[in-house]
Structure 1
Amino acid sequence: MPETSTQTNQVGRVYADALIELAQKHDRLDEVADEAQQLSDLLREQPRLQTLLSNPAITSADRVDLVERVFAGKVSDTLFKFLSVMARKDRLDELDAVLVSVRQRVADIRGEVEVDAWTAKEMGEDLRNDVRDRVASALGGKAVTLREHVDPSLLGGLKLRVGDRLVDGTAATRLRLLRRNLITAGKTAARDAAAVSGSAG
């Protein structure tokens, strides 16, 4: 893993732990967890907002003012104060990593496992329940929160991410592996033919 990615994950976890500790202190964990999810969805739907919040050309004071204008009165005081601290410390560029870590930490606290699932088209209820049950069984019966993603480039099959582990059973990946194996087999056959031709000569 690149060093910058590792550092980002570490910063995300540190700030996520601070937010969760603050939420638990005020008995607001469920509220803050829901807000963190909503904010994560918002940043994904409005990438320009994330770009604006993390713009290095904006001063800390302006960033604090931006947080005030965008979030004051729209989120809990707990989350608002936390975002303001991140703005003052010029850490809003890590916000997405923080929100991911918050979801993971809350899932741990609740005894849940968050699983991302990618399919070529939207899953039906039967497949959704089957995937959730199979993953829960593989993880010792833990409650599974399934986050679904649609990616038509996958062609078919299913790709899962459980924490840092990726399980890829998509058709696109199988085709890439088949193509790679065929190329390798072709090169091996060519070398073998050349060797036979050389020894015959």
Structure 2
Amino acid sequence: MNNIANAEISRPYAEALMSLAQSNNVADKFDSDVRSLLNLLKESEALRNFFANPFIAAEDKKGVIRKILSDDTNSMFRNFLMLLVDRRRIILLEDIAQEYLTQLREFNQIVLAEVISAVPLTDEQKQTIKEKVKSIEPNAREVELDSKIDSDIIGGVIIKVGSQVIDSSLRGQLRRLTLNLNKG
């Protein structure tokens, strides 16, 4: 399936999870459960392949879910995952989880900024970036940073907020300088 089809199928499940979380006042608890599960999926290709394999019995998938979830995982969240197995939608778990986090950010007026830097950022630099993002996103009560390291940018940072890109990397500055020199 392509990403657009996945998004169309994932969105209603994420909305249902959000509705369940809000009606039971556990949105923040679900947030940590979802992030923990996403981290597991990102770290383990074997786990992703296990859930994606249609030949593995639903009960086996449920058994793995019970084993990988911590004891303090919310029971409603656990039941939601079991429902995904029953409906053969567990293959979309990553997409559903990402969509849930997107909806939770919107609900809490949190803006996600992807930050690419050549070296790890200090806390002070992160705070400066958050303030910069708040200045361009006036409705943001808070800013969540998704930091990535890419030594190819040489120095500086690239900040992506939605469709906006602020490129203050040395690589970007050199590219702009080259374009200007070629025009002249």
**Aligned match of 1:126 in 105, 110, 124?**
124
Q: Against the structure 1 CA distance between its residues 132 and 84, is the aligned structure 2 distance closer, same or farther, given a 3 Å change threshold? A: same
Aligned residue-pair number: 180
Specify the SS of the correspondent of 2:56.
Answer: coil
| Alpha-carbon offset, residue 133 of structure 1 | 0.5
Q: C-alpha distance in 2, partners of 1:16/1:97?
A: 9
Matches within 5 A, 1:129-140: 129-140=127-138
Query: Structure 1 residue 70 and structure 2 residue 42: aligned?
Result: no
**Aligned match of 1:90 in 88, 102, 120?**
88
Larger CA deviation: 26-35 vs 53-62: 53-62
Q: C-alpha distance in 1, partners of 2:11/2:67?
A: 26
Kindly indicate whether the alpha-carbon contact (under 8 Å) linking 1:160 and 1:167 is maintained by their aligned counterparts in 2. yes
Q: Which has the larger radius of gyration?
A: 1
Hey, what does 1:13 align to over in structure 2? 11
Q: C-alpha distance in 2, partners of 1:50/1:83?
A: 14
Kindly indicate whether the alpha-carbon contact (under 8 Å) linking 1:32 and 1:78 is maintained by their aligned counterparts in 2. no
Q: C-alpha distance in 2, partners of 1:154/1:12?
A: 34
Deviations 1:105-146 (A, max 9, x none): 111111211222111110122321111111111011512112
| Alpha-carbon offset, residue 73 of structure 1 | 3.4
Q: C-alpha distance in 2, partners of 1:94/1:107?
A: 20
Kindly indicate whether the alpha-carbon contact (under 8 Å) linking 1:113 and 1:144 is maintained by their aligned counterparts in 2. yes
Deviations 1:174-196 (A, max 9, x none): 666777x59xx6xxxxxxxxxxx
Hey, what does 1:110 align to over in structure 2? 108
Q: C-alpha distance in 1, partners of 2:102/2:50?
A: 26
Hey, what does 1:81 align to over in structure 2? 79
Q: C-alpha distance in 1, partners of 2:177/2:94?
A: 36
Q: Which amino acid is the alignment partner of residue 13 of structure 2? A: Y
Hey, what does 1:150 align to over in structure 2? 149
- Alignment RMSD, CA only? 2.6
Q: Which amino acid is the alignment partner of residue 145 of structure 1? A: E
Q: C-alpha distance in 1, partners of 2:176/2:52?
A: 39
Kindly indicate whether the alpha-carbon contact (under 8 Å) linking 1:160 and 1:168 is maintained by their aligned counterparts in 2. yes
Kindly indicate whether the alpha-carbon contact (under 8 Å) linking 1:115 and 1:145 is maintained by their aligned counterparts in 2. yes
Q: C-alpha distance in 2, partners of 1:72/1:148?
A: 26
Q: Which amino acid is the alignment partner of residue 161 of structure 2? A: V
Specify the SS of the correspondent of 2:2.
Answer: helix
Larger CA deviation: 68-77 vs 79-88: 68-77
Greater helix content? 1
Larger CA deviation: 34-43 vs 165-174: 165-174
